[in-house]
Each structure stands twice: as structure tokens, then as C-alpha cells.
Amino acid sequence: METTRCKRCLLREAFPADYQKYVLSLLQKIRPADRAEQTCYDRRLAICGQCDQLNHGTCMGCGCLVELRAAYRKEKCPFRRWENG
């Protein structure tokens, strides 16, 4: 059965194998001092999940994988849609 994908799916939802291969190992390498708190991370991704710029886990505003960008404490949304900008 084929998986239904929405362009506002995160990579982990739309392409879990790619998420495992490309994102998870990078997330694990982020230094704790640089990492966003889990609640902040979850809020950012929830905002991305409602955003017209999201395309299968990639932000069309900056070209990043949002699941990576959102994990860094000091990163910001290119359109200032996250609560910290």
C-alpha cells in the first residue's frame, strides 16, 4: 500500500527512511549547549507543519530541513514565524 504524503508533512512523516539516514544522526551530533529544548523544538515544528513554505520537510524560504534547523537553539525562521523570530 502506498503512503499518502502531504507537502506539509515533516521528513520523518513523509520519508522515515531518509529521516533516519540523513537527519537523525545529525541531530544526535548537536552539542547540548546548542540544542533547543524539546518543547521549543516541538512548537517550532508544529508551526512549520502549518506553514505554506514547508515542502516535504524542506523550508522553501531558506532551503533547510526544518527538523534540523529547529533543533538549534539560536536558529530562527526566515519569515520570523517562530516565537523567537
Query: Alpha-carbon distance 61 to 80, whole Å?
Result: 11
Question: Is residue 40 at the binding interface for ligand SF4, with CB under 6 A as the rule?
Answer: no
Question: Is residue 54 at the binding interface for ligand SF4, with CB under 6 A as the rule?
Answer: yes
With CB under 6 A as the contact rule, which of the stretches 12-20, 27-35, 77-85 interacts with ligand SF4?
A: 77-85
Neighbours of 48 (CB within 10 A): 21
| Least Cβ distance, residue 11 to ligand SF4 (angstroms) | 12
Question: Is residue 71 at the binding interface for ligand SF4, with CB under 6 A as the rule?
Answer: no
**Using an 8 Å Cβ cutoff, are 34 and 41 in contact?**
no
